[in-house]
Structure 1
Amino acid sequence: MRKSRQRFLAPMVAVSALVLGLTACGGGTETAGSGGTASRPAEKIKLTVGLFSDFHYAPLYEEFKKTHPNVEIVERRAQFNDHHTNLITQLTTGAGAADVVAVEGGYIGAFTPVPDKFHDLKEYGLDKRESEYLDWKWKLGVSNDGSALLGLGTDVGGLAMCYRPDLFKKAGLPVDRDEVSALWPTWDAYIETGKRFVAGKVEGAKFTDGPGEHFRAMVEQAPIGFYDAEYNIVAATNPDVRKAYDTGVKMIHEGLSANLAAFSPPWNTGIAKGSFATMVCPAWKTGTIKDQKPGEGTWDIAAVPGGGGNQGGTHLMLPKQGKHPKEAAALIDLLTSKESQIKLFKEASALPSLPALYDDPAVKDFVNPYFGNAPIGKIFTDAARSLKPQPVGPKASDVLQAIGDGLQRVDQGKQNAEEAWAQALKDVSRIK
């Protein structure tokens, strides 16, 4: 990414900035005949799709065009932070939004309170898909008032831990993924493994990239995270949040952190060059690793400490600014279909949102040769099955940023742990 901040530390604009007054635009592509005896060619339509990375949709667009030959599809990509903040601005000003937009799980709570800004997918029959979905994933795409279906889920971020067998071997640690998984059933055990890695004195490599993504994983494994069931911010009083923070601080104090912000250029380089030996690895991040071209078999995949979980995952939504919602909804239907989710899992490690696929051999038995023939189907579906979803409030990313910034200050030696925690809570208290 262009910015050096971690992906989850994405700045957000207040939801209250979304102004009212968007009106739905025109519908689909009628092919009326003259007097009912002759038809004119279908109207040429251009659909724009706003994404924050390469979702590997190009072959699926070609599938869509077979049934919609009059539709041209154009992708617009922006960096992760920019994509979401730009979307908020576009909805506020009433102009500039794509016909189809991707919204990542950390941001979905910023848009579900404003269903008037989006087309209701129920109007295009997509509510028939509900029984296919993980219950919690479906509910994330429903407006807060329950009136509208705003988005269909593409993937979920089943959690694992990616590691470098070559660096583990140099440190005298096991390299077999089952043995590696057994090293860290808990986060405390993960830190103890990190201390063994440090003792191995592997030149030029730290045990992990940084504490921020680990902190997020630990919080998201808890029953309650930054919000309670009534959507009140409880980060300051939730003991699981403080425990995750303290564990992140311990990683820093034990010398395990490479102090690299996820998705920054140095972090990308570190993936390829071996600057760190482990990182929290939701399913989609294996695609990020592969994009850095570290070499086949350089990275492998083990279980995540703490017993599974989810990080990230996306929904596709239709801003009301779109002029062709019928065709755009049909495109969302195809991009999220069972067949498409299987293809995207194999191509981009996008773990399906449809639990029936977790027992499909095409997913369950899939191995990835780029990661040492890791059985990623089993690893990630096991993680997804173990997930106990928690409430996701509209300012979750703001809270995450505030506490993540505190961990960064500790990692950079700018504050001690208590000073950074106190400042983080003060920053959280300003979030309304």
Structure 2
Amino acid sequence: MHLSRLTTVALAAVVALAACGTDSGAGSGGPITLTVSLFGNFGYKNLYAQYEKDHPNVKIQERTAAYNDHHRDLATHLAAGSGAGDIEGIDTGFIAQMRERGNLFVDLGQQRQPEYLDWKWKASLTKDGKQIAYGTDVGGLAMCYRRDLFEKAGVPFERDQVSAAWGGGWDKYLQFGREYAKKAPAGSAFFDGGGQLFNAVIGQAPVGYYSEDNTIVVGTNPEVRAAWDLSVQAIQSNLSAKLIGSSQEWNNGFAKSQFATIACPAWMMTKIKDQSKDAAGKWDVAAVPGGGGNWGGSYLAIPKQGKHIDEAKALAAWLTAPEQQARVFTEQGNLPSIPALYDRPEIAQFKSDFFNNAPVGQLFTAAAKQLKPQYQGPRAGDIQTTIRDGLVRIEQGKQSPEDSWKQTVGDVNRLAK
């Protein structure tokens, strides 16, 4: 399955038009620097080098920050009217919030709509039909695990055996974890942290934090409470390494083999490779308990406050074009948000040496094809953080599960005010 000639020509027209344009910040005609503000590793390092080689007049400077810091800073810069990057990365959890501020972003037009997963395109579309961002990737779920640690603990470690052992759902996953814990290598917990486990479980629910009328339903949605209760059960079974996702301690946890499994949307493979370089071949990828689900996926947007808007549009269009999305997947693991790529042999048949030759192309494209997206409201990212903080209080022994649940629901409800 290949992109239609019409779609490819339309994209070329977008890039060419943007590249030929001038803006108020490029008046001298001299070299310009484009700032790309991201959270984590989007897999663009090699792409930047290629783009700069093909565009000698452009230099690219990437600046990265922690997930929550990045999105908080972006909101601050938008409110102040200055300080944002020429291109800004936005996570799925924050795209609705930024969509409501669509007047502060450049309208990228509708030319590329036919390329994208329908739900991915619509998620960054404003109510008045303006497209504020290009999708970069989607986060279909799997489970990454340390096969060497499994083997040392005397539990099944071959990919098919592992998938079968917990394929029946999250209760089976916890049962597997309790067996692992009996003979786990010293210093190794079964999974990284309650917040990350919760994200995977709730990512499989048809309804998460919001109803489609933007009403927060955390306190009334039984799926949220079920995901919370399962995460609490896992914590109370001493299966958690008690690490907060994206923290420095969490990063160090990979290298120190402090956990044996991690809920693994496609983009997580990049983080694993970045933080556990000495564990190549020791990691593997199995099916996620319960099957399917989504966690994350990102976008590139262009704030209107930038001084090089036309050049930024050209770069954003190029970074998210089909060939570049395909390259990022094979180099880093971020799954494209352009479904025509899923049947290309280099994607569908791709295997990762780092992950013990796991058929990650097959695993993640199958997950993406089956994905039924969950509606994301304006404060979804903040709600995710609030729930994580509630689980951290339990992990740290600061609150009982029920007291933490009550505080979490109250904290979430205040976000709506």
Q: Which residue of 1 is the match for residue 165 of structure 2?
A: 183
CA 1:428–1:381: 2 relative to 1, 3 Å: same
Q: TM-score, normalised by structure 1?
A: 0.87
Kept in 2: contact 1:97–1:321 (CA 8 A)? yes
AA aligned to 1:159 is L
| Aligned equivalent of 1:267 | 250
Listed as ranges, the matches of 1:421-432 within 5 Å are 421-432=405-416
Q: Which has the higher helix share?
A: 2
**Are the equivalent residues in 1 in contact too, given 2:41–2:270 (CA < 8 A)?**
no
Residue identity in the other structure for 2:385: Q
Matches for 1:5-154 after TM superposition, within 5 Å: 28-29=21-22, 42-65=29-52, 68-122=55-109, 127-143=110-126, 145-154=127-136
Out of 58-67 and 193-202, give the one that drifted further.
Answer: 58-67
Query: Does structure 2 conserve the Cα–Cα contact (< 8 Å) formed by 1:29 and 1:43?
Result: no
Asked if structure 2 preserves the Cα contact closer than 8 Å seen for 1:28 and 1:324, the reply is no
Rg (Cα) greater in structure: 1
CA 1:323–1:183: 2 relative to 1, 3 Å:
same
Over 3 Å counting, the alpha-carbon distance change for 1:202 and 1:56 in structure 2 is: closer
Q: Which amino acid aligns with 1:168?
A: F
Q: Which amino acid in structure 2 is aligned with residue 175 of structure 1?
A: F
CA contact (8 A) 1:282 1:311 kept: yes
Selected match of 2:400 from 416, 427, 430: 416
Matched, 1:317 2:301: yes
For the 8 Å contact 1:271–1:294, the answer to whether it is kept is no
8 Å CA contact retained: 2:205, 2:293: no
Q: CA deviation at 1:42?
A: 4.8
Give the AA of the match of 1:178: D
Give the corresponding residue for 2:234: 251
Among all aligned residue pairs of Structure 1 and Structure 2, give the percentage whose two residues are the same amino acid.
Answer: 49
The 2-side partners of 1:273 and 1:172 are apart by 20
Instruction: State yes or no: 1:166 paired with 2:148.
Output: yes
- Residues 376-408 of structure 1: per-residue CA shift (max 9 Å, x gap): 111111222221111111111222222222211
Which amino acid letter does the alignment assign opposite residue 101 of structure 2?
V
SS in 1 for 2:33: strand
SS at match of 1:160: strand
Deviation digits for residues 308-360 of structure 1 (CA, Å, limit 9, x no counterpart): 22211111111001122222111111101111011101111111001111111
Normalised to the residue count of structure 2, the TM-score between the two structures is: 0.90
- Partner of 1:315, secondary structure, is strand
Contact 1:273/1:294 (8 A) holds in 2: no
SS at structure 1 position matched to 2:241: coil
Given that residues 352 and 358 in structure 2 are in contact (C-alpha distance below 8 angstroms), is that contact kept between their aligned partners in structure 1?
yes
Which amino acid letter does the alignment assign opposite residue 426 of structure 1? G
Contact 1:28 1:325 in 2 (8 A): no
CA deviations on 1:61-104 (whole Å, 9 max, x unpaired) are 34434554322322222232222111111111111111111111
C-alpha displacement at 1:256, in angstroms?
Answer: 0.9
**In the alignment, what sits opposite 1:226?**
209
What per-residue deviation string (whole Å, max 9, x for no partner) do you get for residues 28-57 of structure 1?
Answer: 338xxxxxxxxx995543322112233232
1:206–1:66: structure 2 CA closer, same or farther, 3 Å change rule? closer
> Does the 8 Å contact 1:407/1:420 carry over to 2?
yes
Amino acid at match of 2:259: F
Q: Deviations over 1:244-265 (max 9, x none)?
A: 0000011012121111112223
For residues 212 and 401 of structure 2, the distance between their equivalents in structure 1, rounded to whole angstroms, comes to: 29
Name the SS of the counterpart of 2:290 in structure 1.
Answer: coil
Aligned counterparts of 1:404 and 1:51: Cα–Cα separation in 2 = 22
| Residue segments in structure 2 that go unaligned for 5+ positions in a row | 1-19
Root-mean-square deviation (CA, aligned residues, Å) is 1.8
8 Å contact kept, 2:66–2:246 = no
Cα contact 2:41–2:271 (8 A) shared by 1: no
**Which is worse superposed, 225-234 or 76-85?**
76-85
CA contact (8 A) 1:151 1:317 kept: yes
Question: What SS does structure 1 have at the residue aligned with 2:136?
Answer: strand
Q: Kindly indicate whether the alpha-carbon contact (under 8 Å) linking 1:154 and 1:315 is maintained by their aligned counterparts in 2.
A: yes
Structure 2 counterpart of 1:305, which letter? Answer: P
- Bigger shift: residues 53-62 or 201-210: 53-62
- Given residue 343 of structure 1, which amino acid in structure 2 is its aligned partner? R
In 1: Cα distance, 2:181 partner to 2:246 partner: 24
Instruction: Extract unaligned runs of 5+ from structure 1.
Output: 1-26, 31-39
AA in 2 matched with 1:365: Q
Relative to structure 1, is the Cα distance of residues 79 and 398 closer, same or farther in structure 2, using a 3 angstrom cutoff? closer
Q: Which of 307, 331, 356 does residue 347 from structure 1 map onto?
A: 331
Give the distance between the partners of 1:98 and 1:200, measured in 2 at CA: 49
Question: Deviation string for 1:126-169 (max 9, x for gaps)?
Answer: x22111111111111212x1331000001111211111111111
Matched, 1:361 2:345: yes
In the alignment, the residues of structure 2 paired with residue 365 and residue 165 of structure 1 have an alpha-carbon distance, to the nearest angstrom, of 22
Classify the secondary structure of the residue corresponding to 2:34: strand
Aligned residue pairs: how many?
392
SS at match of 1:256: coil
